[in-house]
Structure 1
Amino acid sequence: MPAVTTRHPAMVAGRYVLLDQVGSGGMGSVWRAWDERTRRHVALKVLGQHSSALLARFVREQAVRVRHPHVVAPHGWAAEDDLVVLAMELVSGGSVADLLREHGPLDPGTAGLLCEQLLLGLSAVHGAGLVHRDVKPANLLLEATGDGPPHLRLGDFGVAAPVADRRFTTVPGAIGTDGYMAPEQARGAPPDPSQDLYAVGRVVLEMVTGLPPACQRAPVDEALPSHPLRPLVERLLVSDPEQRLATADAALRLLRRLPLPAAAGPPVPDRLGPPPRGRRTTGAGEVDWPAWAAVAALVAVVAGCLCVLLGWAT
């Protein structure tokens, strides 16, 4: 893969100017980039070493075209030599995983609001005939809303698959993240929306207890003896998929009947900050203004020397 640095960013496919690396994951690195075509900043996922499995994930993810306020899906891709990238909206508030790591358990109102937004996003994903298969706090991105209400965006569709499509299932291997997978998903069952709903239950339990699945030993009735979200979590964390809530819309209806207080959670700051200073983009691409300043200074020095020499000549 071509070397990319923040000091000398590369132009990818004549369109994307890589500015600074803002994250990394199983597929490669994530960069803030300037899109010359749309004239705005985007997130660019740069594919790492191109194994067959990684390329399969890339093909699946770039095919997802779900447009929804609570979903972040790719809106384009590009390839140049051995550099392959996915472009998507830039979300600067980190993730629910960051929020939990820094602040611990969330209040019932904030957890309920985030759960509602997640279910709205999943409803759109399932309505498009897809199963996400990796719902977890790290994939729940947050807009930088400051002291305002949080705004969740479901991201990372690298292992998403069409509903009940056996071509994307390997047996006995499991596709997903340990602790968040439904029991049948862990056994290699075909993709089904109810598997995402089980993961929602795990996420909600983590939001209100502050404990990841590996540390959640107690049954739901003991972990949440009087919590207002307990009825929803109990209906989602059912081992038998036939008894589990079947759709995101059904879970939404139950959630909205629960007596939840207003959200009072922690603020969601802008974790990326402004783009690298001293850089601007033009129609011709990236311009490194510090370099141009050095050139201008050199020209001024040369001009001054010429003036002196001409003065001596006269």
Structure 2
Amino acid sequence: MDDRRHRSAYVASVVVVRPPAHAAPRQAPPRTALPPVAGRYVLLDQVGAGGMGSVWRARDTRTGALVAVKVLGQHSAGLLARFVREQAVRVRHPHVVAPTGWAAEDDLVLLAMDLVPGGSVQQLLDEHGPLPVGYAARLVEQLLMALAAVHAAGLVHRDVKPANLLLAPTDSTGTTDATGAGGATTPHLRLGDFGVAAPIADRRFTTVPGAIGTDGYMAPEQARGAPPDPCQDLYSVGRVGLQLLTGLPPSRQGEIGSSRLRPLLERLLVVDPEQRLASAEAALRLLRRLDIPAEPGPVVTDRLPPLPPERRTPTVDWPAWAGVAACLGVLVACALVVAGVLP
């Protein structure tokens, strides 16, 4: 089944979901042996791993575009439930990476979304540590813009953290802030991984044992099992913002310092959700009133390795092979006659 409502020229990523089976999960065969999945996606090389399995680069034979493919590594009802939730997300926004369609073939289910090759904000922090406040402010602004669109669609992300914030390479799609610091360039941030997203106030998601989200980034009420609410995502933005400034995870962040982002972070990290900023739009208005100038920061590069040469699966010339087989049959028959096996 192919969702043809979402055709466009963008580069997509595909999540391949394999249902549970009694046998051990199949490993992805070498790329030269793989036919197109659903008659469309050809796996080329493994480029990493994600929360749902290994990550592959592939070719969309319909459009010719390169795509990224996550191959599910383990099968469980929980992972399949995450897939069902994620494929239902339909948010179109420049700062959101949401599914654009899906297809199925036999035991394969494919979930397509944009590929963002610059890595994650977590990788940026791991490599560069604390970021300049003007650089961090632009990233927080883009994240709030993404959440405004997600919340307007009636969803709560519930897992906002640096690992789920993807970056486009600065040298290709980075944006230049007109106010800023000799043309300071900011990478293009996109919010991804909607596997635990839930409709606003949907109490069905409070009955699952254990908190849904990532410890340290979750709002206190989310950790206690409160129904999904947009202000929970805003608390996570506060934790992310503080990590951008300190380079430290939530467990080691301590108090908010004297940064120019402090007025925003204080309002986002309020423990009482009733006192927290009520919406991403309100947070955006406060951030823009702070008028923090852009600053240069780390350059984000394309993290994908060079694409290996693509090898076509050999085609079989069946008429020619039929002739060869006939000749072999005659030779074998003659040999058997000479050997006295046949009269």
Please indicate the TM-score interval, normalised by the length of the shorter structure. 0.7 to 0.9
For structure 1, which segment, 111-120 or 45-54, has the greater mean C-alpha deviation from structure 2 after superposition?
Answer: 45-54
Residues 9/94 of structure 1: CA separation in 2 closer, same or farther (3 Å cut): farther
Match of 1:200 in 2: 237
For structure 1, which segment, 138-147 or 251-260, has the greater mean C-alpha deviation from structure 2 after superposition?
Answer: 138-147
Aligned residues: 278
DSSP-derived class of the 2:149 partner: helix
Match of 1:270 in 2: 302
Residue correspondence of structure 1 range 225-264 to structure 2 within 5 A? 226-264=258-296
Give the Cα separation in 1 of the matches to 2:135 and 2:32.
40
Match of 1:219 in 2: 255
Match of 1:163 in 2: 200
Match of 1:64 in 2: 89
Residues 262/78 of structure 1: CA separation in 2 closer, same or farther (3 Å cut): same
DSSP-derived class of the 2:307 partner: coil
Deviation (angstroms), 1:50: 2.3
Give the Cα separation in 1 of the matches to 2:255 and 2:170.
34
| RMSD of aligned Cα (Å) | 1.8
Residue correspondence of structure 1 range 174-193 to structure 2 within 5 A? 174-193=211-230
Deviation (angstroms), 1:31: 1.9
1:32 aligns with one of 51, 57, 61: 57
Give the Cα separation in 2 of the matches to 1:227 and 1:19.
46
Contact 1:46 1:85 in 2 (8 A): no
Amino acid across the alignment from 1:191: P
DSSP-derived class of the 1:287 partner: coil
Contact 1:172 1:187 in 2 (8 A): no
Give the Cα separation in 1 of the matches to 2:262 and 2:32.
50
Deviation (angstroms), 1:130: 0.5
Q: Quick check: 1:93 aligned with 2:118?
A: yes
Deviation string 1:213-259 (CA, Å, 9 cap, x unpaired) is 1112x222xxx1x2100000000001100000010000000000114
Give the Cα separation in 2 of the matches to 1:8 and 1:122.
41
Deviation string 1:119-140 (CA, Å, 9 cap, x unpaired) is 0011111010000000000000
Contact 1:13 1:80 in 2 (8 A): yes
Could you list the runs of 5+ residues in structure 2 that have no partner in the other structure? 1-25, 175-184, 316-343
What TM-score results when the alignment is normalised by the length of structure 2? 0.77
DSSP-derived class of the 2:104 partner: strand
Give the Cα separation in 2 of the matches to 1:193 and 1:23.
31
Match of 1:305 in 2: none
Report which of the two structures shows the higher radius of gyration computed on alpha carbons. Answer: 2
Contact 2:32 2:312 in 1 (8 A): no
Deviation (angstroms), 1:154: 0.3
Off by >4 Å, runs of 4+ in structure 1: none
Q: Matched residues, percent identical?
A: 73
Could you list the runs of 5+ residues in structure 1 that have no partner in the other structure? 280-285, 293-314
Deviation (angstroms), 1:169: 2.5
Contact 2:47 2:305 in 1 (8 A): no
Residues 47/84 of structure 1: CA separation in 2 closer, same or farther (3 Å cut): farther
Residues 9/92 of structure 1: CA separation in 2 closer, same or farther (3 Å cut): farther
